[in-house]
Structure 1
Amino acid sequence: MDLLIDKYQDSMPKLTQWAEDNIPEGLTMFGLDLCEFNRKRLRTSNMIERLNQKC
């Protein structure tokens, strides 16, 4: 993300400010800060896949 900020800071300041404010929050949905149990549950919303999981 720092590359994006550095590249567009001068030409698109509103974009870079939006990116700094919103991208980290948006990435939390990928479970980067969650334990393994919760990451597996968030991986998919397909209930059939959840039922067929071995764990």
Structure 2
Amino acid sequence: MNNILGFEKFIADKRKSLGITLKGMADELGIAPAYLSDIEKLNTKQQQLLV
């Protein structure tokens, strides 16, 4: 498996295992929760270009 394709799952799994909500993580990162959700679902234009 390509590591790039597994990154979004790693981010979501790690966040959840730490008990951090999507909104909580997004706030810590200074990004919109919707953008973090897109990252976790591989919905960003930049990530789609890598695939």
TM range, normalised to the smaller chain? under 0.3
Normalising by structure 2, we get a TM-score of: 0.28
Higher-Rg member (1/2): 1
Normalising by structure 1, we get a TM-score of: 0.27
